[in-house]
Structure 1
Amino acid sequence: MLAIVAAVLFLIALIVQLASLSLGVLTADVLITAGLLCVALHLAGVGGGIRRGRL
């Protein structure tokens, strides 16, 4: 799930950068950093799905 969020953030960052837009605090660099954070969390196993515990 976090990988999908990262992909969407990267897409928005690309559009912002190509269009040379400025959305206030949300610049392309901020969106890229947020995307990299989501990728790092995904690779660390956060949000990986349902955990099955012992009964």
Structure 2
Amino acid sequence: MFATIAAVLFGLALLLELLGESIAGLITTTSLALAGLIFLALHVAGYGTGWGRRRTRR
């Protein structure tokens, strides 16, 4: 899930960079890229992958 969010943020950052725009002057391509890196790091760390600790019955 986090990898998908990161891909969307990177795509939006690329689109804004190509158009030379920013969203309301607050969200720039750099802030979107950094947010994408955060979500990518969370994905690589194992959060949001569905591979959590499983409880076993004994």
Give the counterpart letter for 2:15 in structure 1: I
- Normalised by the size of structure 1, how large is the TM-score? 0.89
Among all aligned residue pairs of Structure 1 and Structure 2, give the percentage whose two residues are the same amino acid. 45
**Structure having the higher Rg:** 2
Deviation at 1:49, TM superposition (A): 1.1
Deviation at 1:53, TM superposition (A): 1.3
Q: Which runs of 4+ in 1 moved over 2 A?
A: none
Q: Which segments of 5 or more consecutive residues in structure 1 lack a partner in the other structure? A: none
Amino acid in the other structure paired with 2:17: Q
Unaligned runs of 5+ in 2: none
Alpha-carbon distance, 1:50 to partner: 5.7
Return the alpha-carbon distance in structure 1 between the equivalents of residues 6 and 51 of structure 2.
20
Give me the CA root mean square deviation.
1.2
Q: TM-score scaled to structure 2, two decimals?
A: 0.85
AA matched with 2:5:
V
How far apart, in 1, do the equivalents of 2:17 and 2:39 lie?
A: 20
Q: What corresponds to 2:11 in structure 1?
A: 11
